[in-house]
Amino acid sequence: METTQPKKKRSLLPLWILIGMFAGILVGLLCLWLPNWFNHPEWKEPMVNFTTNWLKPIGDIYINLLKFLIVPVVLISITAGVISLGDLKKVGSIGIKTFLYYLCTTAIAVVVGLVIVNFFKGSFPALPGANLTELEYQAKEAPKVMDVIKGIFPDNALKPLVNADMLPVICIAIFLGAGILAVGKKADPITNLVNAANEVVIKILMMIIKITPIGVFCLMANVVAVNGPMIIGSLALVIGVAYLAYLVHIIVVYGLSMQFLSRMNPFKFFRGMMPAMITAFTTTSSNATLPVNLECCTELGADKGVTSFVLPLGATINMDGTAIYQAVAAVFIASCYGMNLTFGQMAQIVLTAVLASIGTAGVSGAGPIMLAMVLAQIGVPVEGIALIIGVDKIFDMGRTTLNITGDATCAIWISRLEQRKAAKKAVKQL
């Protein structure tokens, strides 16, 4: 007698996250518009303060819960991922493929941004009342390449964990996993401990993911209430251009990657990634979104060992959205200064942006730092960043979403490669 397996119940979480996001937008807009509707402009400040003082702290609690899991997830999942690969050569092979994939997609992202922004650069409005000679922006000093490389290898095992410095944490996890593999059978107790810890972290993660709709609602309501007027201001066009470039890259580049490299229906991929994409859009943090991204990729069929290795690495060094932002912002700022960038300068943007995406990976506030590097390289005054720094949060929402989606396409592609390789190996052994 045949037994039919019960169908897995489809999660309603993506729907609830969407509802939370749109409800947050609605509440944020109401806080902006109600004072005008009722002819009480003095209500405006209190209503915006309501979202900042009461809703945002709840969203911050959600972010804090995600952040508190970042180090355990990265450390334990990468260690477990390296162990599950079972072979140090395999770890090296996957690492090289992952790095090259991220490098290529970042280079394509810069080119996409430059092509699209050049179609619109003649339409960029002069900012009313902007005196470009008086602009001020103090850019943080970008780290030297060798300093970044040196910083990957920590001199203290605990300091990176306390400071949540992801590159050294990844280094510790890889060495820990490699050491366990090298010891072999004698390390089985540690292997069991790591795998058990990984299960515990995943269970805690699922508890936190369940409150995502509430966190998204509170964060989005505050973002709209605080930044709403800026969205419809004179910078609306450059924001629109950036988001058009984000959309083109995500549909064309990631869609083609899923269709031809991973052989997965792009619609299935984007539907499965929706919880992670919405979380990234509202939190503007690749690291904070990492737990949700891990869950989405696993549900899409990616190998847990591969995703545990590839996604944390991508959250640290893969910055396709940031690369597009740099290209669009650089051309916009140059246009405001009356500068027409040459082909050579645009080539410099591509090269600098790709290298900077790795060079500033472990630095807080990487977007403006990387943009400062790009502007300095092509001879555009760095002070021009002050033109767009006020709406950087809006740019950041889209670029973070793009970043984590790119991480997922790589994880699924590498998983498919490993699955095909294992299938061929099994056929040969028959």
**pLDDT at site 3:** 42
Please, are residues 116 and 248 in contact by the beta-carbon 8 Å criterion? Answer: yes
Q: What are phi and psi of 337, to 5 degrees?
A: -90, 5
- Cα-based distances in Å from 295 to 125, 298, 302, 350: 43, 5, 10, 33
Name the CATH superfamily housing domain 13-425.
Sodium:dicarboxylate symporter (1.10.3860.10)
| Distance, C-alpha 239 to centroid of its chain | 18
- In three-state secondary structure terms, 305 is helix
Cα three-residue angle 173-177-181, rounded to 5 degrees: 170
Query: What does each of the 430 residues of the chain score in pLDDT, given as a tens digit?
Result: 334 444 445 567 767 877 887 898 888 888 878 776 666 666 556 677 888 888 989 988 987 887 787 788 778 877 887 887 777 888 888 989 998 999 899 999 999 999 999 998 887 755 444 445 545 545 555 556 677 678 889 999 999 888 877 778 878 988 998 899 899 889 999 999 998 998 898 788 778 878 888 988 888 788 778 766 554 455 688 889 999 999 999 999 999 999 999 999 999 999 999 999 998 888 787 877 888 899 899 999 999 889 988 998 888 778 899 889 989 999 988 888 778 888 888 888 888 777 666 545 444 445 666 787 788 778 888 777 767 776 777 888 898 999 999 999 999 999 999 888 888 887 777 6
**pLDDT at site 269:** 97
**pLDDT at site 7:** 47
Residue 7 is classified by DSSP as: P
**pLDDT at site 138:** 54
CA pair distance 319, 184, nearest whole angstrom: 36
Please, are residues 305 and 95 in contact by the beta-carbon 8 Å criterion? Answer: no
Of 202, 417, 404, give the one whose Cα is nearest residue 314.
404
Query: Which residues, including other chains, have CB under 8 Å from residue 188's CB and lie 6 or more apart?
Result: none
Domain ranges (residues) in the chain:
13-425
Tell me the pTM: 0.76
Please, are residues 101 and 410 in contact by the beta-carbon 8 Å criterion? Answer: yes
- In three-state secondary structure terms, 98 is helix
**pLDDT at site 129:** 43
**pLDDT at site 10:** 54
